[in-house]
Structure 1
Amino acid sequence: MAENEQGNGSAEEKPQVRMQTLTQFVRDLSFENVLAQRGHGGEVQPDVSVEVNLDAKKRSTEHQYEVTTKLRVTSKDKESQDTLFILEMEYAGVFHVENVPQDQLHPFLLIECPRMIFPFMRRIVSDVTRDGGFPPLNLENIDFVQIYRNEIARRQAEEAETAGTA
């Protein structure tokens, strides 16, 4: 019977991760139609670049976190390299997160939370570019895991460089 008790103890389930999106909102949005300001007309071949930065912070309420995705979209003409438009947006979500081990909380907040609100960001970018006089820009899926890994690698390289100069 001792084996059964031990077996039941080891088979005891960990509390299930609980995540809920409480709210999401545009914190800041800027769209600049540089092409229209220059009065340029005619055919252009757009080349679009997208930069993404992530930030997460604990809120004063227990188990609540605010995660912000900062997006900068720049479109340039492939031939002349003239800027066509610049879109900058900070899109935030407030999440209730429970039962995530402390060592996994940081990646959870910077990978899973942005992934949950990305479809809403994509729609806003599409609407703003369309309403700004361009064809709607439908962003490709963003690999938040790779962004997280790149940031960790960048920080480790920075720490190694700092340790080497000290």
Structure 2
Amino acid sequence: MADQTPAGAANAPTNAATPPSYSLVGQYTRDLSFESPGAPGSVLLGGANPKFDLGINVGVKKQADDLYAVELNIKAKAERDANLLFNVELVYGGVFRLKNVTEQQLPGLLMVECPRMIFPFARHVLATVVQLGGFPPLMMEPVDFTALYLQNLKAMQAQQAPAATN
């Protein structure tokens, strides 16, 4: 996989002046579940457009000094007239090697840039599984991981605020 460093930086000596970089070491599917309890009837029935419920979360776990596993946890459910058409859950991850990244840069890189890099692959897995289940492929819109990160940061700060006043 491509290292995200500027051209010529690979030959530079490793020191504090070396710019931060990250590279994707590998990708994996840790968990995948697809349920269509009404099949084959749900595939054959037409009707109104289904109602979709879609959620995505990002998780990070340090593997070694410079290796991190970044996982996207995606859940999608489709219902029509209170009947479950399908429910799919996917945990898709990437292992990233980080070099010369400061503590201040770490959260943004792991919670925004790394998920952004693996998201298209997770979206492809999700679309393919739904299509193999007999439905049109579920094509997720691109995710604004910066907004998701900031939203989660605000929620964590709000939870910590009442504890600080006690």
Deviation at 1:141, TM superposition (A): 0.3
Query: What's the counterpart of residue 34 of structure 1?
Result: 37
Q: Which runs of 5+ in 2 are unaligned?
A: 1-15
Q: What is aligned with 1:7?
A: none
The equivalent residue for 1:115 is 116
Normalised TM-score (structure 2): 0.83
CA distance in 1, matches of 2:75, 2:129: 13
Aligned-residue offset at 1:122: 1.0
Aligned residues: 149
1:48 corresponds to? 52
Encode CA deviations 1:54-99: one digit per residue, 9 max, x unaligned: 1111112x3111111101011112xx23221111011111000112
Q: Aligned AA for 2:99?
A: E
Aligned to 1:154: 155
- 2:84 is matched with 83
Instruction: Measure the CA separation in 2 of the matches of 1:92 and 1:158.
Output: 28
Runs of 4+ in 1 over 4 A off after TM superposition: none
Provide the identity percentage. 35
Give the match for residue 145 of structure 1. Answer: 146
CA distance in 2, matches of 1:161, 1:132: 46
| CA–CA separation in structure 1 for the residues paired with 2:91 and 2:76 | 12
Aligned-residue offset at 1:139? 1.0
Deviations 1:11-62 (A, max 9, x none): xx9422211100000000000013317x4442131122211111111112x3
**Larger radius of gyration, structure 1 or 2?**
1
Structure-2 separation of matches of 1:122 and 1:52: 11
Structure 1: 5+ residue runs without aligned partners? 1-12
**For 2:39, what is the secondary structure of its paired residue?**
helix
Matched, 1:96 2:100: no
More helix by share: 1
- The answer to whether structure 1 residue 64 and structure 2 residue 67 are counterparts is yes
CA-based RMSD of the aligned residues comes to: 1.6
